[in-house]
Structure 1
């Protein structure tokens, strides 16, 4: 079976023939491939026209067209996903849309994969054992393999151990048992024990579950290597066992043994591991098999990842209580009664009042992406950021496209208005508004500004646009570090 592993770019428009060539399909194969990916929501089809070819994002008004239209060849295909997908013997590596250089982005994708892993952990997402639902439900073997391998590198092999007590052994001395049960000789008023009770933990190297774990890991590692994904995920090939699953009995016997072990195992991490091994064996599915199921590691909402990265690296204070904000002045008197409230709670909620009822607050209100209150050159700054996952075109001689909409622009002004009283009470003289967008370049780019004259006339700050090197932000995010906001030169 020939394995085809290729890169495609998120949000790029592909023709059917391009997908056919990239993934080495015949006509029937590419039709099935497209239908399968569309069923799992990672591929969309839009009309084949000049306007769509120039688009950098899939907009709400880009209504997806039907499979019948797709079969006529009168459409374009868009990957709405970032990460790795396996579909039969095809491995699809979807890289973020801001990577525009014509090259295989292995280095960049390795970093993106690490970011996705940390994001997934920070959001406390569980292993997605299955993709889709109903007729499109598919066992996500890739996610299970990655979990098992990463778990091994963090915690090691599953072991069953036994605590034993010896006399004059090499383990830790058990003084309580020694004093209670051993004979002591007294010399110069000091006790000397001829026999010391010692304790140690002995691991059973021949344990069934230890061997099973090693066998499963070896098999998982081989599957990842065969799919040409071990380098991308930064996982070394493992050869821990020469046994195969059949050496442990038939499937029902192995599952019965795992079930019994689960009943006597009370360590949470070991329970999760045993359950994952149980699922892996019970499904009997392998990556790269020719079937309609797909496996995935990634997200259809990479904009949320970009927002999270920006919030962490730019030291978001929205969820910090007022009393914990570090400003050059103490919390103003009018806000001291709210010192335990988060900064985000200062924003007013819409108030609704019926003819015959008391006024009530709406449940929701304006929510900025992130706010930073750094001290730059000894001066407090109040900076309202909006992390925008856009490929903006804002150059002389070219039409404007890939830009945030009017709602995004007006909200950015309103965020400043919402914090006007807080800013004034703390004598913060420098207020800035900024859109943060990713770039594959290595330096911060001052891209321009967005403004609405009627809101500018209210004394509100216009919105500056900065393209931020994604690789630099990811590096800080993965190291749990911050960026010097002064580098933005707002």
Structure 2
């Protein structure tokens, strides 16, 4: 089977003929391909217009075309996903929309890093394995996610083993003093006992254990599938060759599943239970990643903006959920925040919530303004209060070009209001350096000071206009993956 593996850019507009050519389809094949991707929510279709061709984002008011079999000139297709998708023998590598100038042959490094970022984000959000994609008629076993989980689990925890505790006389294990004292004969000299025979205990692993062998067999098969799909290099995974057995050597499928269920009933360790359940899913579905006409497999997200927000929050040392008493500013916590209750509030908790008043009642709303992240760095011996908003946009703000890819008026007004919400806290601590800033990704290697967003009526209230900074995504991801912070001086000064 010939594997067709191609890169596509998130949010780029593709014609049907583009997809047909890129993924080597005939007319019927490309229509089925498009229909499948749309059914799983990773591909949208919009009208084929000049305005759409110039867009870098799918806007809320873009009306999706529902006729997926429209003629190739009638609509454009947009991938609303970042990550890896397999559809039969086609492997679709969807890279983020801000990588505008890279050629396909130059994308390997960026894509490898992005997949590591997706993995770290998934772990931090405690997301479970997506064993299935879609629902109803479009429900499909997510073989790629299961394979990646099994291999990553092996790298972290090793092979599934069952051990047996054995007792020996004068062995090399730990001395079992209770058993030795109770059951062994002692010689007494100078009121001290001396034992000629010591009972010792150790655990030995059963190399012939059914589940150890099964785990090795599945891992070897998973590794080969990843290589066949040409994804092993992309996911930075070495070849795993642990077994020469095949699944048929362990009995028919029903027998293997029955053995796994029995083992599950004996295991109370959470990790072992998860591993056994994943092995059960792998065996029960009996599906190979590159099977034709057998659903879609995915590793990635349709909400990459959330990944960008999470990475920015960690790299810029978000204090939003920090307790006030632990902010470590250069000045003591102001008196009005020193009370037992106030001192233990988080920075996010001091934003006012709307109050709704009726004729004879009053109620406080549950929700309020929530900024993406707040940083309170010390720069040149002074505290700064910086309100960041991570915006996953490709902004076009150049002379002679129309404004595109910019946050909406609601985003701008909210950014001003965040400063207003913290005005009392800022004034109480004598903070004179306050900044508002949008953080957007760029493929460039240097921070780009893009400009500002402002509204005169809010500027007149003494609120800071919103600075626009494009952050080198590759550099930010490197810091995110290694748990380091970016020097905020680079942004603000």
- Normalised to the residue count of structure 2, the TM-score between the two structures is 0.97
Say what the alpha-carbon RMSD is for the aligned residues: 1.2
Instruction: Verify the 8 A CA contact 1:84 1:296 in the aligned structure 2.
Output: yes
Q: Check 1:198–1:143 CA distance in 2 against 1; reply closer, same or farther (3 A cut).
A: same
State the aligned residue count.
489
> Which residue number corresponds to residue 380 of structure 2?
377
> Which residue number corresponds to residue 89 of structure 2?
89
> Which residue number corresponds to residue 310 of structure 2?
308
1:234-273 matches, cutoff 5 A: 234-273=236-275
Q: Report how far residue 234 of structure 1 moved.
A: 1.0
> Which residue number corresponds to residue 35 of structure 1?
35
Q: Does 1:386 align with 2:403?
A: no
> Which residue number corresponds to residue 478 of structure 2?
475
Q: Report how far residue 102 of structure 1 moved.
A: 3.1
Instruction: Verify the 8 A CA contact 2:3 2:91 in the aligned structure 1.
Output: yes
Tell me the alpha carbon deviations over residues 372-415 of structure 1, each in whole angstroms, 9 at most, x when there is no partner.
01111110000000000001111122221111111111110110
| Aligned residue among 337, 347, 351 for 2:355 | 351
> Which residue number corresponds to residue 64 of structure 1?
64
Tell me the alpha carbon deviations over residues 428-457 of structure 1, each in whole angstroms, 9 at most, x when there is no partner.
110001110111111111111111111111
Q: Report how far residue 183 of structure 1 moved.
A: 2.2
Instruction: Verify the 8 A CA contact 1:168 1:198 in the aligned structure 2.
Output: yes
> Which residue number corresponds to residue 200 of structure 1?
202
| Counterpart secondary structure, 1:382 | strand
| Counterpart secondary structure, 1:380 | strand
1:154-165 matches, cutoff 5 A: 154-165=156-167
| Counterpart secondary structure, 1:17 | helix
Q: Does 1:19 align with 2:19?
A: yes
Instruction: Verify the 8 A CA contact 2:324 2:345 in the aligned structure 1.
Output: yes
Q: Report how far residue 188 of structure 1 moved.
A: 4.1
**Unmatched 5+ residue regions in structure 1?**
none
> Which residue number corresponds to residue 288 of structure 1?
290
> Which residue number corresponds to residue 417 of structure 1?
420
Moved more, 260-269 or 29-38: 260-269
> Which residue number corresponds to residue 399 of structure 1?
402
| Aligned residue among 165, 168, 171 for 1:166 | 168
Instruction: Verify the 8 A CA contact 2:257 2:280 in the aligned structure 1.
Output: yes
Following the alignment from structure 1 to structure 2, what is the Cα–Cα distance between the partners of residues 286 and 478? 31
Q: Report how far residue 190 of structure 1 moved.
A: 3.5
Following the alignment from structure 1 to structure 2, what is the Cα–Cα distance between the partners of residues 239 and 292? 27
Instruction: Verify the 8 A CA contact 2:166 2:201 in the aligned structure 1.
Output: yes
Following the alignment from structure 2 to structure 1, what is the Cα–Cα distance between the partners of residues 145 and 72? 35
Instruction: Verify the 8 A CA contact 1:36 1:292 in the aligned structure 2.
Output: no
Following the alignment from structure 1 to structure 2, what is the Cα–Cα distance between the partners of residues 458 and 175? 78
Tell me the alpha carbon deviations over residues 44-94 of structure 1, each in whole angstroms, 9 at most, x when there is no partner.
000111101111100000010121673353111000000000001100000
| Aligned residue among 442, 446, 465 for 2:449 | 446
Tell me the alpha carbon deviations over residues 265-294 of structure 1, each in whole angstroms, 9 at most, x when there is no partner.
111111111111011010111111111410
| Aligned residue among 278, 281, 290 for 1:279 | 281
| Counterpart secondary structure, 1:70 | coil
Following the alignment from structure 1 to structure 2, what is the Cα–Cα distance between the partners of residues 118 and 43? 25
| Counterpart secondary structure, 1:44 | strand
Following the alignment from structure 2 to structure 1, what is the Cα–Cα distance between the partners of residues 173 and 66? 70
1:210-221 matches, cutoff 5 A: 210-221=212-223
| Aligned residue among 114, 122, 125 for 2:124 | 122
Instruction: Verify the 8 A CA contact 2:34 2:68 in the aligned structure 1.
Output: no
> Which residue number corresponds to residue 184 of structure 1?
186
Find runs of 4+ consecutive structure 1 residues off by over 4 angstroms. Answer: none
Instruction: Verify the 8 A CA contact 1:349 1:365 in the aligned structure 2.
Output: yes
| Counterpart secondary structure, 1:67 | coil
| Aligned residue among 133, 136, 154 for 1:134 | 136
Following the alignment from structure 1 to structure 2, what is the Cα–Cα distance between the partners of residues 481 and 143? 28
Q: Report how far residue 222 of structure 1 moved.
A: 0.6
Q: Report how far residue 364 of structure 1 moved.
A: 1.2
Tell me the alpha carbon deviations over residues 442-489 of structure 1, each in whole angstroms, 9 at most, x when there is no partner.
111111111111111111111111111111111111111211111213
